[in-house]
Amino acid sequence: MHSAIEKLRSLAEENKTILCFGIDPNMEKIDGKGGGGTTEEEIVSYYSSITDALLDENQISAIKPNYAYFAQYGFDGLRALKNIIEQYQNRTFVILDGKRGDIGKSSDAYAREVYDFWGADACTISPYMGSDSIAPFLRDGKLAYVLCRTSNEGAKDFQEKKVGRKYLYELVAEKAVGWNGSNAGNTCGLVVGATSDSIVRITKITKNKIPLLIPGIGAQGGDLKMVMNAISGKNSDPYIHRINASSSIAFAYEKQGGKPKDAALNEAGKVNDGIRKLL
C-alpha cells in the first residue's frame, strides 16, 4: 500500500502543482448553472465540470469537499458528496473536510465513516480532545490533518493563547510530530492558514516533514508568497503540502464573467503561476 505522503508527492510532481480545489456547494450561486435537475444533479454537474477541467489541464493535485456544505442540503447533498468522491478517488487525492474529533469510541466510528464509507484519502480533525480522539484517524495509507493555526479571524481566541512561553498552536504542532513518530506507517498532518505568519514557526517545529493543508489564499486574502517561502526552504519537501482555494476558483465567473469552468481554469492558472515560480 502506498502511503498518503507518497501519493501526495507523486500527484504534485506529476501535475507540477500543490494546489487543492475546495468544493463547497452553494446553491444560490450554482442554481441553474449545473444544467438543471435536482439539487444532487446540479451540485454534481457543476463541480464535476470544473474539477474535470482542472485535472485535465494539470491545475490541481487534490480536491477538498467540505462535508457541511453538502450536508446542509440533506440527502441530496450527501448523495452528491458520495458521487463526487467516487468519481475522483482514483484520479486525485481526496480530503474530506469534516473536522471530526471525539472520544475514542466515537472517533473510531467517525474514522470508519470517513475512510470506509466515504472513501476519502484524508480528513480534517480537531485536536481539542487529545491523543485518544486522534489515534483512530491515524490509519495506514491515510492522512489526518489536525487543526493547528486556522485561517479564520477567530483563530486568535484560543490558538494564539500562550501556554508558558509557547503559543497553543505550537504545542499542537509539536504533538503532531510526536504522533507521527509513535505511529509507524501512519501520518498526521496539520491545517495551517495562509492568513498569518504562524506557518513560519510551524514549519520550523515540523522541519517541513509533516504535510500541511493550507487554506486562506483565495477569498480570505492569504499571502501565497509567504507560504511558498515557508514550505520551500532548504531540505524541505514542498510536494507533500497542499494549498487550498475554494470559492475563488468555483465562483471565479462572478468577477470574470463567462462560463464557470473557463473562469475557474483561469483563476487556478493565476494561482499556479505563483506556486510554480517557487515550487
Look up the CATH number of the domain holding residue 86: 3.20.20.70
Instruction: Note down the domain range covering 209.
Output: 4-278
pLDDT at 183 over 70: no
Q: Which of 229, 210, 91, 212 is nearest to 150 (CA)?
A: 212
Whether the per-residue pLDDT at 258 is higher than 80: the answer is yes
pLDDT for residue 199 is more than 80: yes
What are the residues facing 242 on neighbouring strands? 213
Tens-digit pLDDT profile for residues 92-148: 999 999 999 999 899 999 999 999 999 999 999 999 999 999 999 999 999 999 999
SS3 category, 225 = helix
CB atoms under 10 Å from CB of 43, counted, come to: 27
List 99, 142, 162, 270, catalytic entry: 99
99 noted as active-site residue: yes
Mean pLDDT confidence for 188-194: 95
- For residue 34 the three cell numbers come to 449545473
- Per-residue pLDDT tens over the stretch 236-246: 899 999 999 99
The amino acid present at 105, given as its one-letter code, is K
Q: For the residues 174-188, what does the mean pLDDT come to?
A: 78
Q: How many CB atoms are located within 10 Å of the residue 125 CB?
A: 28
Closest Cα to residue 149, out of 120, 179, 190? 190
Region of residue 130 (left: phi > 0; alpha: psi -120 to 50; beta: else): left
Structurally, the chain folds into a number of domains equal to 1
CB within 8 Å of 129: residues ≥ 6 apart: 101, 102, 103
